[in-house]
C-alpha cells in the first residue's frame, strides 16, 4: 500500500467520525491500458470532497457529479464499468481500448475502516472482505501482499504499511538513491556506523541509524514489502547486511560493485552458510544496464530494477548489468575477429 491509499482510508475514517457519509471507490479489474492499477482507491464525501484517484480525473469528475446531484443513495456495494466503448474511453479519458471496473461501496461505522487504519499503523498486513450482496465486512490477518480480488460476489483487498527500503551506506550514491526512493514512496532507513558519513546526512524523508548492518536487518524484521541495497563497497558492512537479508522474505536484495567483486562476494557469503537458493536471490551488480556512470544515473539504474522486482516483472538477462556487459564483450570480441 502506498501513502495515497493510506490517506484515503484515514480520510474516510475521519469523515465518518464527523458524521458524514462516504463512498469508497476501488479499482477491481482493468482491461487493456488503464491509468491506475487494480487496488487503487478514491473516497468521495457526501458533499463532493474527494481524496485519492482511480483514473486521470474524468472518471472522478463523473462520480463526484453523481454524488453532488443525488447524494450517496446506495446502501450496498455496486460494481460499475467505464470505457467499454470507444466513445466512453474518449469521454472518460481512458487510453485507447482501456476498460476499468470499479466497486462503489457506501461506508458506515460498520465498515471497519477505523480498525483497518489502526492495523496498518501497527505494521500489520490485513485482508478486508466485503460481501456485495449484504455489505458485510470481515477483517482478518493476510498472508500475501496481493492487492485485490473480485469475483462479483465479494471483493477482497489487502492492506498494509508502506514498502520499506534499507540502504547500507550513507555515501554520495546513497543520497541520490534515497531522494528518488522517498519520491517513490518508500519508507527509507539508511544504516551506516561510520560517523564521517552519518554526521552530515540530511536527506528529507529518510531515517539514519548508526548500528551494525546485520543488527539493523534483524531489528527491522524484514518482510515481503522490503528492499535492501548495500552500497558501501566495504565487505565488513555490506556482507553483514546481505548475509541476514538473504534469509528474509525481502522482495529485493542487491549490492553495488563490479562483476568480479560480486563474484568474490558470493564466495564470501557461502562461508556464512547461505545456500544456493538464498545466494541466487542476490542482485549483484545491482541495477539494469543503461550505461550509467554518475551517481544519479546509477541510482536510477538500481531503482529501476527494484521497481521491476516490486511489480513482479522478471527482467531478461540482457537488461541486467552482468548479462548486458558480458554480451557486449562477446559482441566486441566477435566483431574484432571478423575484422581481422
pLDDT band for position 56 (cuts 50, 70, 90): low
pLDDT average, residue stretch 28-41? 80
pLDDT at 30 over 90: no
pLDDT 10s digits, 306-329: 999 998 898 877 777 777 777 777
Mean pLDDT, all residues of the chain: 87
pLDDT band for position 336 (cuts 50, 70, 90): very low
d(CA 40, CA 314): 23
- Order of strands, sheet of 137-141, starting from the edge strand that comes earlier in the sequence: 137-141, 126-131, 154-159, 148-150
pLDDT at 211: 95
pLDDT at 340 over 60: no
pLDDT at 163 over 70: yes
**What is residue 9's three-state secondary structure?**
helix
Task: Give the DSSP letter string of 147-189.
Answer: -EEE-SSEEEEEE-PPPEEEEE--SHHHHHHHHHHHHTT-EEE
pLDDT at 338: 36
- Order of strands, sheet of 41-45, starting from the edge strand that comes earlier in the sequence: 50-52, 41-45, 22-31, 99-107, 78-82
pLDDT band for position 226 (cuts 50, 70, 90): very high
Q: Show me where the domains of the chain are located.
A: 3-114, 164-323
Of all residues in the chain, the percent with pLDDT exceeding 90 is 57
pLDDT 10s digits, 124-158: 889 999 999 999 999 999 876 667 899 999 999 98
pLDDT average, residue stretch 247-275? 90
pLDDT average, residue stretch 285-299? 92
pLDDT at 23: 96
Closest CA relative to residue 230, chosen from 207, 214, 211, 219: 214
Task: Give the DSSP letter string of 88-144.
Answer: HHHHTTPPTT-EEEEEEEEE-GGG-HHHHHHHHHTT--EEEEEETTT--EEEEE-S-
The set of cell numbers assigned to 4 is 495515497
DSSP one-letter code for 291? -
Please state which of the four CATH numbers 3.40.50.720, 3.30.565.10, 3.40.50.300, 3.30.300.30 is assigned to the domain occupying 164-323: 3.40.50.720
pLDDT at 142: 87
Amino acid at each position: 500500500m502506498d501513502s495515497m491509499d493510506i490517506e484515503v482510508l484515514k480520510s474516510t475514517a475521519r469523515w465518518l467520525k464527523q458524521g458524514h457519509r462516504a463512498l469508497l471507490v476501488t479499482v477491481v479489474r482493468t482491461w487493456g491500458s488503464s491509468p491506475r492499477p487494480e487496488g487503487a482507491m478514491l473516497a468521495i464525501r457526501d458533499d463532493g470532497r474527494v481524496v485519492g484517484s482511480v483514473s486521470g480525473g474524468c472518471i472522478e469528475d463523473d462520480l463526484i457529479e453523481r454524488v453532488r446531484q443525488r447524494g450517496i443513495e446506495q446502501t450496498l456495494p455496486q460494481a460499475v464499468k467505464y470505457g467499454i466503448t470507444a466513445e466512453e474511453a474518449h469521454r472518460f479519458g481512458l487510453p485507447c481500448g482501456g476498460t476499468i471496473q470499479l466497486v462503489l461501496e457506501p461506508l458506515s461505522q460498520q465498515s471497519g475502516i477505523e480498525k483497518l487504519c489502526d492495523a496498518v499503523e501497527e505494521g500489520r498486513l490485513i485482508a478486508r472482505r466485503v460481501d456485495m450482496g449484504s455489505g458485510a465486512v470481515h477483517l482478518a490477518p493476510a498472508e500475501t501482499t496481493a492487492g485485490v480480488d473480485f469475483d462479483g460476489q465479494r471483493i477482497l483487498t489487502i492492506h498494509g504499511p508502506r514498502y520499506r527500503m534499507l540502504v547500507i551506506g550513507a555515501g554520495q550514491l546513497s543520497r541520490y538513491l534515497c531522494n528518488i526512493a522517498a519520491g517513490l514512496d518508500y519508507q527509507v532507513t539508511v544504516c551506516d556506523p561510520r560517523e564521517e558519513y552519518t554526521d552530515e546526512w540530511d536527506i528529507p524523508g529518510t531515517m539514519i541509524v548508526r548500528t551494525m548492518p546485520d543488527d539493523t536487518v534483524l531489528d527491522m524484521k524484514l518482510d515481503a514489502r522490503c528492499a535492501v541495497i548495500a552500497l558501501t563497497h566495504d565487505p565488513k558492512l555490506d556482507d553483514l547486511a546481505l548475509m541476514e537479508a538473504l534469509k528474509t522474505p525481502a522482495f529485493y536484495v542487491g549490492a553495488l560493485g563490479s562483476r568480479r567483486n560480486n563474484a568474490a562476494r558470493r564466495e564470501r557469503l557461502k562461508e556464512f552458510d547461505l545456500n544456493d537458493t538464498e545466494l541466487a536471490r542476490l542482485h549483484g551488480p545491482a541495477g539494469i544496464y543503461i550505461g550509467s556512470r554518475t551517481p544519479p544515473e546509477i541510482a536510477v539504474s538500481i531503482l529501476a530494477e527494484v521497481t521491476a522486482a516490486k511489480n513482479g516483472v522478471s527482467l531478461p538477462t540482457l537488461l541486467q548489468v552482468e548479462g548486458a556487459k558480458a554480451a557486449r564483450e562477446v559482441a566486441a570480441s566477435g566483431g574484432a575477429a571478423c575484422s581481422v
